[in-house]
Amino acid sequence: MNTLVNKLMWLILGSLGITKGDIKWAGPTGELKEACPVLQLNSYPACPDPDRAMGLAAHTDSTLLTILHQNNTSGLQVQREGTGWVTVPPIRGALVVNVGDLLHILSNGLYSSVLHRAMVNRTQHRLSVAYLYGPPSNVRISPLSKLTDSCHPPLYRPVTWSEYLGTKAIHFNKAFACSVVCTEEWIC
């Protein structure tokens, strides 16, 4: 998973014109060795009345990237602007990749974090495994300087993953509002 997420990160960053030298916390060859991955197993038992149960509330991930494996039971939904909630059907052998809040900040909003939720299934037990990929806990994440200028100022203040998790624990999905820069002053 580390190899896969490292490759995905550099493909995403490369699409923005970012090189390995632009990421201060990357090793000399661009290895993101000091990153902090977390593996999470999610279990959603079958529920005869799924409208009365919550699988996982709507949220964005507090990571750079999240890679998700689903079993063959649907339940993952993403919010699509103008459409509403859309089910992401499980595909055998496929992985779902979600952009997290910290990549949203790092890219100065060019890559948006994904609002998603998990619904329980009426007849089948649903399992998923999430690989949550974050930066080293002490590294300050902020919009990359190559992505900002006088016409595109930084939209977010620098924050460590630990600080962001603390903010999200208090403010949940309003954590972005606490990271947004507003005319030289921070909100929150």
Active site residue 126: yes
Choose, from 117, 126, 140, 157, the residue flagged as catalytic.
126
AA letter at 59:
H
Tokens of 117: 């939720």
Annotate 95-155 with three-state secondary structure.
CEEEECHHHHHHCCCCCCCCCEEECCCCCCCEEEEEEEEECCCCCEECCCHHHCCCCCCCC
Beta strands at 159-160 and 181-182: parallel, antiparallel or unpaired: unpaired
Q: Which residues are identified as catalytic? A: 126
